[in-house]
Structure 1
Amino acid sequence: MTSPEPALRPGTQLASTVCTTKVVVVRAPAQCAPVIACGGSPMAAASGAPAKPAPSGDAADATLVGKRYVDDAGTVELLCVSSGAGELTCDGAPMTIKAAKPLPASD
């Protein structure tokens, strides 16, 4: 499922319409525009996103500032720049926090 909007590009800023979550696109597929949502509502451009009440979801699903979120395929990566109560989803599937890469041994 994709939106009719133009494809996401790295650097694009998105804001939730139901909570205070704001993200920056780090990686996105060139050939399609996945639907990025937060709290069950599609995200909008950060410049004109009006806040609305109460996102759907659990408090444990809140977004955390400074964390990178990826979809199951690893094709979409978002950096959270403002935390909020909503859960990030890509085309309806929950996004997960990207694991840190292990540092090389310094023997």
Structure 2
Amino acid sequence: MTSPAPTLRPGDQLASTVCGTRVVVVRAPAGERPGIECGGRPMVPATAAPQQPPSDGGDAATLIGKRYVNAAGTLEVLCISSGAGELSCDGVPMTLKAAKPLPASD
């Protein structure tokens, strides 16, 4: 039996246990406990994670500097260290957040 996922707050840092992926929570749903996984394994607080070597970026599934959101758009994380694992929330793959278009400068 696994323990429930911790309550997430903006600013929390999470790390993968299977690759070098690390993320920072940007937005989290209030009152919910979403389970964030990387490479099919739950992510843990960055302070408790074993140190993994960072990816060289060639085989990375998560890309440094990119934001990822869950299907509902209620959870957003920023990748601060890339890795080979794919991010998912409650078993559903997270998607890369599209950049907002800037207004025209006419």
Task: Give the aligned partner of residue 55 of structure 1.
Answer: none
Deviations 1:3-57 (A, max 9, x none): 62431000000000000000000000011110000000000000111258xxxxx
After TM superposition, where is structure 1 displaced by more than 4 Å over at least 4 residues in a row? none
Distance 2:5 2:72 in 1: 21
On the 8 A contact 1:36/1:88 being kept in 2, the answer is yes
Farther-moved stretch of structure 1 (11-20 vs 61-70): 61-70
Report the count of equivalent residues. Answer: 99
- Structure-to-structure mapping, 1:27-106, within 5 angstroms: 27-50=27-50, 62-106=61-105
Structure 1 counterpart SS, 2:47 = helix
- Could you say if the C-alpha distance between residues 20 and 60 of structure 1 is closer, same or farther in structure 2, counting changes exceeding 3 Å? closer
On the 8 A contact 1:19/1:51 being kept in 2, the answer is no
Distance 1:5 1:33 in 2: 6
- 1:89 deviates by 0.2
| Root mean square deviation, CA, Å | 1.8
Task: Give the aligned partner of residue 55 of structure 2.
Answer: none
Distance 1:42 1:96 in 2: 17
Farther-moved stretch of structure 1 (86-95 vs 5-14): 5-14
Distance 1:4 1:32 in 2: 11
Structure 2 counterpart SS, 1:26 = strand
Long gaps (5+) in structure 1: 53-58
Distance 1:6 1:82 in 2: 21
